[in-house]
Amino acid sequence: MAGRVLSADFPLAVYNRNREKSAPFGGAGATVAASPREAAAGADIIISMISDDVASRGLWLGENGALAGASRGSVLIECSTLTVGWVKELAAAAAQRGCELLDAPVTGTKPHAASGELSFLIGGSEAALATAQPVLSVMGREFIHLGPTGSGALMKLINNFMCGVQAASLAEAAYMIGAGGLDLSKALAILTHGAPGSGLVQRAAARAFANDFTPNFPLHLMAKDLGYAIAEASHLGHNLQTASSALSIFKEAIAQGYGDQDFSAVIKSQQRR
């Protein structure tokens, strides 16, 4: 995402908790900041992509947080997959600084980010979205404004819990295929070309068949998203039974050492049982 912004000749400052990851952008003309506050100083648009609530809170808040460096009138874009509660808390903190927050998590993986084909699920004001549109247009192909603050965050959790459920069901199907002595190639072809064959199922099956679990989206983050979705549904008065079952399967995979591999490795974890 930072590479896309830089390639469009926007002035860019970058910060990463692992400074080595910022180095390539420095070599391409970006300013490498020593803190989130330094990266945010003087920026009209401040974008965050981070792993979870704890990391997001640490990046935005505190003496060296991005909010401390944000100028009045700037638009903050939080692209991470987070809880609705934290997003609303962050929006309130931004408002106290005279800034506006868009919660704008994305769908897509590394290849989509590199080619500028992410989809943004957006909560927040129309005015803030209009201000952010030129930068968002460099990073994505679709911008869906879903409503007020928290709407994007909620939709992303719904999206990801459904993805996790599909991956977990494919993992259990793969176990049955193996245990029942079926030909894996033929069985996967039936599943991926038939009614169950969503895009996610097709990609996960292809990775499993190729035994390639290089992470585009790490398995431990899918488990995190399932947990967030379960908690959010509970706040709304519902028990996500399918997500809870899927989370158990993903936790098994993490216990087996697959947490840092692509989430499709959940299939491999079930085959080992």
* Active site (catalytic) residues: 156
Phi and psi at residue 117, to the nearest 5°: -120, 25
What is the Cα–Cα distance from 34 to 40, expressed in whole angstroms?
11
Token pair listed for 208: 């499993």
The conformation of residue 49, written as its DSSP 8-state character, comes to -
Token pair listed for 182: 């079926």
Phi-psi region of 70 (alpha: psi -120 to 50; beta: other; left: phi over 0): beta
What is the Cα–Cα distance from 143 to 54, expressed in whole angstroms?
26
Strand-pair partners of 120: 106, 143
